[in-house]
């Protein structure tokens, strides 16, 4: 195939060139009726390109086949058998993948450091999660992807499970030994799903961690908006081999997705694939060099430590993506929450992941010396300002074993059954009926169906007091927790 082509982009260009007009949604009619203030703030271009996919960019029968051609080009560019575009984020793609490998009931092996969208897939599917222990770093309080040995152990305990699902890279950039894990799954004839939401760029440079399809995974989900350069919500799920039925997979996505896909999200994925296929290796080479310089520059600043080698070692992860710049600010006597708030307030800089002692900046190919100079300058100013900041509130960090609570009820039953809200101090021993997820990174500390323990409640209570954000529980302040009502909780 000719990777120079971008069929969706070309079709959108034709739509404009031919002056098509639809008596169809979207009702703003390419901006004609849009709110003037919206036009002033966003410009007219987003409205102009917001057109229908079928009976819009393509005809009512999709006879141009632009979307499927764009997906074929993507699959070829990254070496998958098939690629499917989604406009509902990896959140949809992981749910569709979970539904596709199961038959509506049974077990699924999942690394416990899974994103909340994976848990949502478990709740919706009614499956029994069998949690695979991640590699906990007790000193850094970080979970790395599970080792192949842990995966093998879980297959021995649950040989009938439908599949295994592993997150790699994690939001910290640490990666699993996907090749070995895939071999273990395949020796039992079972598929491996990799949640590679943070790995859209991996196929396009040989010095980045191995991309899941090359390592033998069956399904791999990526967010194009995270480490790629598409619009928010753009995701691709890739498939290879014969263990997962492609029709089932796309029909499961169809169950969950919108019938009004945003063409701009599709077109941006198409354009990004074209750019990466043509110049990804060279562009990423520059970004890797930039990342190396930024890492060295930040690490040389007094009071900062950029995590690197300690994230890749026998008891930690198999590999690491250096574009995740994870900065420990604890020596400054402040928390990651304080650092993130201060950088936004005083330097107009936002960072991604933040926790009791770290912040993380992710670099993309859009960054250059100018953008990273802002980061370095912001961090220098933060170092100067830190002595005047209040002492951070102490977060009571649980031991890894405390984070592995027993799942005593199917997450679906716990979530949808009768619930009650109890004071947090009375929650220990009760079965959770909701997710409580520190965000970012979005890995739930408590899941529906788990028997809550006091250490995790204390972590979340002290965490929120220190600046942690929990977007999903009924009471984000964690004064109360939603648990399974007593008559079902035995
Ligand atoms: C590991 C992981 N999986 C899935 C998702 C969901 O991705 P999206 O935001 O594209 O829906 C995220 C988002 O942060 C994530 O970190």
pLDDT one-digit tens code per residue, 75-125: 999 999 999 999 999 999 999 999 999 988 899 999 999 999 999 999 999
Please check whether residue 424 is in contact with residue 461, taking contact to mean a CB–CB distance below 8 angstroms: yes
pLDDT of residue 139: 86
55 sits in the region (left: phi over 0; alpha: psi -120 to 50; else beta) called left
Q: How far apart are CA 40 and CA 283, in angstroms?
A: 33
Confidence class for position 490, pLDDT limits 50, 70, 90: low
Q: Which atom of ligand 1 is nearest to the CA of 88?
A: 11
DSSP three-state, residue 300: coil
Residue 316 pLDDT more than 90?
Answer: no
Every domain of the chain and the residues it spans: 7-20+56-275, 281-388, 400-488
pLDDT of residue 488: 57
Please check whether residue 83 is in contact with residue 261, taking contact to mean a CB–CB distance below 8 angstroms: no
The rounded Å distance from CA 412 to ligand 1 centre is 21
Q: Which atom of ligand 1 is nearest to the CA of 93?
A: 11
Q: Does residue 174 line the site of ligand 1, with CB under 6 A?
A: no
Q: Does residue 90 line the site of ligand 1, with CB under 6 A?
A: yes
Q: Does residue 196 line the site of ligand 1, with CB under 6 A?
A: no
The rounded Å distance from CA 87 to ligand 1 centre is 13
Residue 322 pLDDT more than 90?
Answer: yes
Q: Does residue 230 line the site of ligand 1, with CB under 6 A?
A: no
Q: Does residue 235 line the site of ligand 1, with CB under 6 A?
A: yes
pTM: 0.96
For the domain 400-488, what is the CATH code?
3.90.100.10
Q: How far apart are CA 233 and CA 167, in angstroms?
A: 18
Q: Does residue 171 line the site of ligand 1, with CB under 6 A?
A: yes
Residue 415 pLDDT more than 60?
Answer: yes
Q: Which CATH number does the domain 7-20+56-275 belong to among 3.40.720.10, 3.50.50.60, 3.40.640.10, 3.40.630.30?
A: 3.40.640.10
The rounded Å distance from CA 90 to ligand 1 centre is 5
The rounded Å distance from CA 114 to ligand 1 centre is 10
DSSP H/E element including 175: strand 174-175
In the chain, % of residues over pLDDT 90: 94
Residue 162 phi/psi, 5-degree rounding, is -75, -35
For the domain 281-388, what is the CATH code?
3.90.1150.150
In the chain, % of residues over pLDDT 70: 99
Q: Does residue 89 line the site of ligand 1, with CB under 6 A?
A: yes
The rounded Å distance from CA 121 to ligand 1 centre is 13
DSSP three-state, residue 357: coil
Q: What would the 3-class secondary structure string for 418-477 be?
A: CEEEEEHHHCCCCEECCCECCCCCCCCCECCCEECCHHHHHHHHHHHHHCCCCCCCCCCC
pLDDT digits (tens, 9 = 90+) for 355-373: 999 999 999 999 999 999 9
Side-chain half-sphere exposure of 287, counting CA atoms within 13 A: 25
Task: Report the nearest-CA residue for atom 7 of ligand 1.
Answer: 90
**Mutation to probe ligand 1, out of 110, 115, 175 (largest number of atoms < 8 A from CB):** 115
Side-chain half-sphere exposure of 453, counting CA atoms within 13 A: 15
* pLDDT, average across residues 264-281: 98
Q: Does residue 197 line the site of ligand 1, with CB under 6 A?
A: yes
Confidence class for position 418, pLDDT limits 50, 70, 90: very high
DSSP H/E element including 8: helix 7-17
First to last CA, the chain: 60
Q: Does residue 195 line the site of ligand 1, with CB under 6 A?
A: yes
**Mutation to probe ligand 1, out of 85, 90, 435 (largest number of atoms < 8 A from CB):** 90
Q: Using the Cα atoms of residue 195, residue 196, residue 200 and residue 202 in order, give the sign of their dihedral.
A: negative
pLDDT of residue 74: 98
Q: Which alpha helices (DSSP H) does 225-367 contain, by range?
A: 246-256, 263-299, 336-347
* pLDDT, average across residues 310-339: 92
Please, which residues have CB within 8 angstroms of residue 17's CB and are 6 or more apart in sequence?
Answer: none
Q: Does residue 93 line the site of ligand 1, with CB under 6 A?
A: no
pLDDT digits (tens, 9 = 90+) for 156-170: 999 999 999 999 999
Q: Does residue 324 line the site of ligand 1, with CB under 6 A?
A: no
Residue 254 pLDDT more than 80?
Answer: yes
**Mutation to probe ligand 1, out of 98, 167, 169, 197 (largest number of atoms < 8 A from CB):** 197
Cis preceding-peptide flag for 352 (omega within 30 of 0): no
The rounded Å distance from CA 220 to ligand 1 centre is 13
pLDDT digits (tens, 9 = 90+) for 194-225: 999 999 999 999 999 999 999 999 999 999 99
pLDDT of residue 271: 98
The rounded Å distance from CA 199 to ligand 1 centre is 11
* pLDDT, average across residues 173-182: 96
**Mutation to probe ligand 1, out of 94, 119, 199, 226 (largest number of atoms < 8 A from CB):** 226
Q: Does residue 228 line the site of ligand 1, with CB under 6 A?
A: no
pLDDT of residue 489: 57
């Amino acid at each position: 195939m000719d990777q120079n082509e971008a069929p969706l982009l070309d079709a959108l260009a034709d739509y404009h060139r031919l002056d098509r007009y639809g008596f169809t949604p979207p009702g703003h009619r390419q901006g004609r009726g849009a709110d003037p203030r919206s036009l002033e703030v966003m410009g007219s271009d987003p409205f102009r390109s917001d057109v229908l996919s079928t009976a819009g960019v393509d005809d009512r029968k999709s006879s141009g086949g632009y979307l499927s051609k764009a997906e074929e080009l993507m699959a070829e560019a990254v070496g998958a058998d098939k690629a499917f575009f989604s406009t509902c984020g990896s959140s949809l793609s992981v749910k569709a993948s979970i539904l596709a490998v199961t038959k509506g009931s049974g077990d699924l092996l999942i690394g416990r450091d899974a994103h909340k969208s994976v848990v949502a897939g478990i709740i919706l599917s009614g499956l029994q999660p069998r949690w695979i222990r991640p590699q906990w770093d007790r000193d850094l309080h970080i979970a790395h992807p599970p080792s192949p040995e842990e995966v093998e152990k879980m297959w021995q305990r649950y040989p009938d499970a439908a599949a295994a699902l592993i997150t790699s890279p994690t939001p910290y950039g640490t990666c699993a030994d996907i090749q070995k894990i895939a071999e273990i799954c395949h020796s039992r004839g079972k598929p491996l799903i990799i949640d590679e939401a943070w790995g859209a760029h991996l196929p396009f440079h040989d010095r980045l961690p191995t991309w899941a399809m090359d390592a033998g995974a069956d399904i791999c989900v990526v967010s194009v908006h995270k480490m790629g350069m598409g619009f928010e919500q753009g995701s691709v799920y890739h498939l290879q081999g014969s263990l997962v039925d492609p029709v089932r997979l796309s029909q499961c996505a169809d169950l969950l997705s919108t019938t009004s896909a945003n063409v701009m999200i599709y077109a941006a994925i198409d354009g990004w694939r074209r750019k990466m296929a043509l110049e990804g290796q060279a562009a990423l080479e520059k970004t890797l060099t930039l990342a190396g310089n930024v890492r060295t520059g930040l690490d040389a600043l007094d009071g900062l430590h950029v995590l690197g080698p300690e994230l890749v070692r026998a008891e930690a992860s198999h590999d690491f993506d250096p574009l995740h710049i994870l900065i420990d600010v604890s020596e400054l006597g402040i928390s990651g929450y304080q650092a993130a708030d201060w950088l936004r307030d005083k330097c107009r800089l936002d960072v991604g992941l933040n926790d009791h002692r770290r912040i993380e900046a992710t670099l993309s190919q859009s960054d250059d010396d100018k953008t990273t100079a802002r980061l370095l300058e912001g961090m220098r100013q933060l170092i100067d300002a830190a002595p005047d900041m209040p002492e951070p509130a102490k977060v009571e960090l649980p031991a890894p074993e405390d984070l592995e609570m027993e799942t005593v009820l199917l997450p679906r039953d716990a979530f949808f059954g009768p619930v009650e809200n109890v004071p947090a101090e009375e929650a220990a021993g009760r079965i959770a009926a909701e997710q409580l997820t520190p965000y970012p990174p979005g890995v739930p500390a408590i899941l529906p169906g788990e028997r809550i323990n006091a250490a995790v409640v204390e972590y979340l209570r002290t965490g929120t007091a220190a600046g942690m954000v929990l977007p999903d529980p009924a009471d984000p302040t964690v004064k109360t927790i939603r648990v399974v009502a007593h008559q079902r909780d035995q």
